[in-house]
Chains A and B, each alone.
Chain A
């Protein structure tokens, strides 16, 4: 009798395990592919702003981008991007310092010296190609994230695209050390008027679009719903930048 009970128990366990076989994949992977719940109280506004930005890209920026691409080479566009990366050195340096990333601080300093001189005012990146010094870009949003500040509500900005409250607030301290400004400062800045600021920011934005338009169009194609797709991509990217 004891033997029969024992056998029944085995059969019961086997049947139970067989029932759960179908969900094995979920048991194995679900934690790993768990998605973050993004706080989104402004969803309706964000959706409208995403549609606005997308239409702006398709109807206005894309045609301008195609003209820009015909009058510039890929090398020229890379140089413009290198130039902007180089002038943002104070922001990268300060935020590496605030996060006590000493190696990042030294590498960014080395990159600035090399690229500003051998790289002709930052137009080229010999620090990476010749000296193997890869960028350690840090901004104030990453600094806050490093010390545990969450992203807060997701906010889509006109022209700039996805952001969140933490990153939006972080634009202020980062702007304070940016060489692109609208007022006279005690140290050298590229511009000190609103017109200058908007012109330079527009060039930077247009150049970025020319470098990443293929990726954006691929995202548009892969999206069944553009807003949450972009929102998740942005938040995942920021989390990774903070983790690094």
Chain B
């Protein structure tokens, strides 16, 4: 009987410890995310530096948080990804990453007057979704940042990494996957890479 009580207590303690650690993990990521946003805000609102320098600094702040490699891979889909040689896979990742950075830089100006509030943090296994409300003047948007924790930490990357962003329920990853899939029905992977490279 004593042995059984001991086991139940041990299990209970282990369960409680897991819960505490898990709750802490959510808090740690939330704080880390808020710090990043603050860093970006400081750069964007700095009137003394050029637009190019702002872009460079913001990308430097955000690159460790995004898993562009995974995003590139998932946007292409298993079949198309596996059809590429190792060197073309690296080339695709590099083109996709540049495109994401360019797309982000084009939005930089609109971040000037934005207020971002975290509305909730949801954790599911090795995924964490930070739900935010991005307010600009009178209008607001729901934006969800989707994080995952890689099995092995990645070099020069954060512990939790963004693999998708949902803006008013629209996943940027799915939207890319849909357009790439359609493009590849009539054109080749090489042509897709050229088209992505030519985007301004």
Partner of A225, one of B74, B164, B168, B183: B183
Considering residues A24, A125, A236, A241, which has the most beta carbons from chain B within 10 angstroms of its beta carbon?
A: A236
Cα–Cα, bound, A25→B72 (Å) = 11
Provide the B158-187 mask, 1 if CB < 8 A to any CB of A, else 0: 000001100011110111111111110000
Partner of B174, one of A28, A211, A236, A243: A236
Given known A33-B74, A33-B171, A240-B168, contact A225–B138 (CB-CB < 8 A): no
Query: Which size class do B's interface residues fall under?
Result: 35 or more
Interchain CB contact under 8 A, A26 and B178: no
Cα–Cα, bound, A82→B163 (Å) = 35
Query: Which size class do A's interface residues fall under?
Result: 35 or more
Cα–Cα, bound, A129→B106 (Å) = 29
Partner of A25, one of B73, B106, B192, B200: B73
Chain A residues, CB < 8 A from B5: none
Interchain CB contact under 8 A, A222 and B178: no
Cα–Cα, bound, A199→B110 (Å) = 31
Interchain CB contact under 8 A, B137 and A74: yes
Cα–Cα, bound, A221→B195 (Å) = 11
Interchain CB contact under 8 A, B171 and A221: no
Interchain CB contact under 8 A, B169 and A232: no
Interchain CB contact under 8 A, A237 and B169: yes
Q: Is B48 an interface residue (CB 8 A)?
A: no
Partner of A237, one of B74, B164, B170, B177: B170
Considering residues B170, B171, B179, which has the most beta carbons from chain A within 10 angstroms of its beta carbon?
A: B179
Interchain CB contact under 8 A, A232 and B175: yes
Provide the A10-33 mask, 1 if CB < 8 A to any CB of B, else 0: 000000000000011110111001
Cα–Cα, bound, A129→B164 (Å) = 30
Chain B residues, CB < 8 A from A222: 99, 103, 176, 199
Q: Is B78 an interface residue (CB 8 A)?
A: yes
Chain B residues, CB < 8 A from A211: 139
Chain B residues, CB < 8 A from A58: none
Q: Is B107 an interface residue (CB 8 A)?
A: yes
Partner of B175, one of A23, A129, A233, A241: A233
Q: Is A218 an interface residue (CB 8 A)?
A: yes
- The residue in chain A whose Cβ has the minimal distance to the Cβ of B177 is A35
Chain B residues, CB < 8 A from A30: 74, 78
Given known A29-B163, A240-B170, contact A225–B70 (CB-CB < 8 A): no
Interchain CB contact under 8 A, B178 and A224: no
Cβ-closest 6 pairs across A and B: A240-B169, A232-B178, A228-B182, A229-B179, A26-B78, A224-B195
Question: Could you write out 25 A-B pairs with CB less than 8 Å apart?
Answer: A23-B82, A24-B151, A26-B73, A26-B81, A33-B74, A33-B164, A33-B173, A35-B174, A78-B137, A78-B139, A82-B138, A221-B103, A221-B106, A224-B179, A224-B180, A224-B192, A228-B181, A232-B175, A233-B170, A236-B171, A236-B174, A240-B168, A241-B169, A243-B169, A244-B169
Besides A29-B148, A225-B182, A229-B175, 13 new A-B residue pairs in contact (Cβ under 8 A), listed by A number: A23-B78, A33-B171, A33-B173, A35-B174, A35-B177, A214-B110, A221-B106, A221-B199, A225-B183, A229-B178, A236-B174, A239-B169, A240-B170
